[in-house]
């Protein structure tokens, strides 16, 4: 047997890896095309079909890991060591030879043959960034060429509509690291070429099929046709966490997740049984009679392992969280501690009953934050018990505080690339505004409408209703509390001072508590005609802005009577419309007449009438509505 040259003998793996499956050599350039040679450990000639080792390997499906530790070995450890492409020794291997054309990287030729391989050295992922800068290192040219090709393949796949950056069945999470990019893309290239060869030569094999839902594919094709690469990236991020699982099958249906028309596993026979079966077919041309059963057995073994692994980590995380719960009161715990606990519990699917009860208590206490709700929206998909609890709790949080919905979607869009709600605003014939919010999630549109005296409130209410509909709740249960009709007290105070020609109020902040958990007290002072008016907060808050709002709210009742008469200035029209909606009477009627140098407006509502004269119609309407509002305030108690 021929031996591979020393210059092709570098492997790239994690420093703790023991099963070194592959090594590679990349020659050529973007002008002349590329030659890729991938050396894979030859397991087929050692482990015979039907042997005891083979039967065990078929049963377990693959070597399984938890972190760096091997949980269950597919092949005997001594056999793995003997067949691995370890440095400084001759090892039997299978050589995949792939020629690519220079422009579109299409495969010109593909061949498989037995060889002997001698490794010149072993590299780890952490070595690659350093070696790519060391021009004098023997591996520099080899790695530089390999990285250039891998990077081109990566971006070509993504530009073609791939949903996944790496093969989910590999032990890599991302391909951002240069070493991981080289290994990931060259293995995807080899597996794709091998799958096409199996399909064209034998029509059967152990293929890895992964079909993306039609809705996601339609969105991706539309974005690609429009040439909107930003939209393509958004769609990829949006669907990355919700794609179905890939399966093994004897016929080829393609792997749309990776953006290739055919895919298999043939590069890791030391740790995956599918690779071992495919290696036998590629070398000897013999397709097993029970190939469909083999594919089903491997798929089921992988599913069983995934369930066991998930349960293990869930239980471990649950135990860790419970040990912390015993030592703290979650309803009053520091925000940073709660944030970390809640994040870890959701990420590991370990939302314990105690933590769920604490989250419910925080919702009822009003300390549930948009960040908490955004996390719940992220993990609310699915049919599990935790997902049902999350949907129920998130719906309750939004029903209690409709403003949370809009803030949570803003955070979910920023952190998790969720689509922003689309809102259309129209003016109601009866007065006020009607907003229609649409949430487009996973191919389904959730649409709800809401009316309110102000456009901002209508928008918030519509988004809250659409979110509750998405969570499976009753959108009609979302209503605005009367307090929602009030403006921010601090903003209202500034506006009042500007209208009356008063000086700006002065806020003084006192910070208390440790650095990791600051709390704030606020005091506000305002001098009017030589009289000083002051107010301060009595309870500390964790947000400075909230302390200033509370201080401004406490100061408002202390101001002169003229200030109270202008608290609703500029809002009288909306408030009258709101009163009409709540009491189910006809909306205000406005009659205009031109006067010397301006306009008069007469406002009629609920049998009352008020007239004002200003320089234009808008000011006259505001003033008339305000006068009528004062009359209502004096005669009734309808305004909260």
- Structural domain boundaries in the chain: 6-195, 486-564, 572-635
Pairing of strands 121-124, 10-13: parallel
Q: Which CATH class is domain 572-635?
A: alpha beta
Instruction: Give me the CATH code for the 486-564 domain, please.
Output: 3.30.160.20
In the chain, which stretches have pLDDT less than 50? 1-7, 482, 484-486, 562-569, 636-640
pLDDT for res 638:
41
| Contact criterion met (CB below 8 Å) for 98 and 107 | yes
| Contact criterion met (CB below 8 Å) for 219 and 205 | no
pLDDT for res 227:
81
Element holding 112 (H helix, E strand): strand 107-118
| Contact criterion met (CB below 8 Å) for 34 and 166 | no
**Tokens in use for 5?**
């040259």
pLDDT for res 481:
58
**Tokens in use for 517?**
């958990």
Q: Which among 363, 336, 366, 348 has a CA at the least distance from the CA of 309?
A: 348
Residue burial 516-546, b: 16+ Cβ < 10 Å; e: rest: eeebbbbbbbbebeeeebbbbbeebbeebee
pLDDT for res 325:
60
DSSP state letters, 235-291? HHHHHTTSPPPPEEESS---BTTTTBS--B--S-TTTBHHHHHHHHHHHH----TTH
State pLDDT tens for residues 321-352. 666 666 666 555 666 667 777 777 776 666 77
Residue 534: which region, alpha, beta or left (left: phi > 0; alpha: psi -120 to 50)?
A: beta
Sheet holding 433-441, edge to edge: 422-427, 433-441, 444-452
What residue has token string 């302390």? 547
Judge if 486-564 and 572-635 fold alike in CATH terms.
yes
**Tokens in use for 502?**
């008063």
pTM of the predicted model, to two decimals?
Answer: 0.58
pLDDT for res 480:
66
pLDDT for res 192:
94
């Amino acid at each position: 047997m021929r031996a591979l040259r020393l210059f092709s003998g570098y492997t790239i793996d994690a420093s703790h890896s023991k099963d070194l499956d592959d090594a590679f050599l990349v020659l050529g350039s973007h002008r002349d095309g590329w030659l890729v040679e991938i050396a894979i450990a030859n397991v087929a000639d050692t482990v015979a079909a039907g042997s005891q080792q083979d039967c065990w390997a078929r049963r377990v499906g693959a070597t399984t890991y938890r972190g760096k530790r091997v949980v269950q070995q597919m092949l005997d450890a001594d056999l793995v060591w003997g067949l691995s492409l370890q440095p400084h020794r001759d090892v039997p291997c299978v050589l995949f030879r792939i020629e690519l054309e220079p422009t579109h990287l299409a495969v010109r030729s593909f061949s498989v043959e037995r060889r002997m391989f001698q490794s010149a050295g072993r590299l780890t992922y952490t070595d690659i960034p350093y070696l790519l800068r060391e021009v004098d290192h023997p591996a520099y040219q080899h790695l530089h060429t390999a990285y250039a090709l891998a990077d081109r393949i990566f971006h070509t796949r993504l530009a073609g509509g791939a949903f996944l950056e790496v093969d989910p069945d590999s032990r890599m999470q991302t391909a951002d690291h240069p070493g991981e990019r080289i290994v990931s893309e060259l293995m995807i290239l080899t597996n794709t070429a091998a799958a096409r060869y199996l399909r064209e030569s034998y029509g059967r094999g152990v293929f890895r099929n992964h079909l993306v839902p039609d809705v996601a594919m339609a969105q991706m094709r539309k974005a690609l046709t429009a040439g909107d690469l930003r939209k393509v990236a958004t769609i990829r991020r949006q669907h990355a966490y919700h794609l179905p699982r890939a399966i093994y099958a004897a016929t080829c249906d393609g792997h749309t997740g990776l953006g290739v028309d055919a895919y298999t596993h043939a590069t890791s026979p030391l740790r995956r049984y599918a690779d071992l079966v495919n290696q036998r077919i590629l070398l000897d041309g013999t397709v097993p009679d029970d190939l469909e059963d083999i594919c089903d057995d491997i798929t089921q073994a992988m599913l069983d392992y995934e369930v066991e692994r998930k349960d293990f980590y869930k239980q471990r995380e649950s135990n860790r969280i419970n040990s912390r719960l015993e030592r703290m009161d979650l309803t009053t715990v520091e925000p940073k501690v709660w944030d970390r606990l809640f994040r870890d519990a959701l990420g590991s699917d370990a939302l314990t009953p105690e933590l769920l009860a604490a989250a419910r208590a925080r919702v009822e206490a009003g300390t549930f934050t948009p960040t908490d709700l955004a996390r719940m929206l992220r993990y609310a998909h699915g049919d599990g018990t935790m997902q049902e609890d999350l949907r129920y709790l998130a719906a309750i949080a939004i029903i209690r505080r409709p403003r949370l919905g809009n803030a949570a979607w803003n955070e979910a869009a920023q952190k998790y690339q969720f689509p922003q709600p689309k809102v259309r605003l129209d003016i109601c014939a009866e007065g006020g505004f009607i907003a229609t919010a649409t949430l487009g999630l996973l191919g389904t549109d959730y649409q709800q409408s809401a009316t309110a005296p102000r456009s901002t409130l209508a928008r918030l209410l519509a988004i809250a209703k659409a979110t509750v509909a998405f969570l499976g709740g009753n959108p009609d249960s979302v209503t605005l509390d009367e307090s929602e009709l009030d403006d921010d007290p601090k903003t209202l105070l500034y506006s009042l001072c500007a209208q009356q020609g008063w000086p700006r109020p002065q806020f003084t902040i006192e910070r208390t508590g440790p650095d990791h958990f600051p709390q704030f007290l606020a005091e506000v002072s305002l001098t009017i005609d030589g009289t000083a008016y002051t107010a301060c907060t009595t309870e500390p808050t964790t947000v400075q802005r909230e302390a200033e709002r509370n201080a401004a709210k406490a100061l408002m009742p202390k101001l002169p009577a003229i200030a109270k008469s202008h608290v609703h200035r500029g809002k009288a029209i909306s408030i009258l419309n709101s009163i009409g909606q709540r009491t189910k009477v006809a909306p205000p009627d406005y009659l205009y007449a031109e006067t010397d140098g301006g306009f008069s407006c007469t406002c009629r509502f609920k049998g009352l009438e008020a007239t004002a004269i200003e320089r234009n119609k808008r000011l006259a309407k505001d003033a008339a509505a305000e006068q009528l509002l004062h009359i209502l305030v004096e005669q009734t108690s309808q305004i909260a």
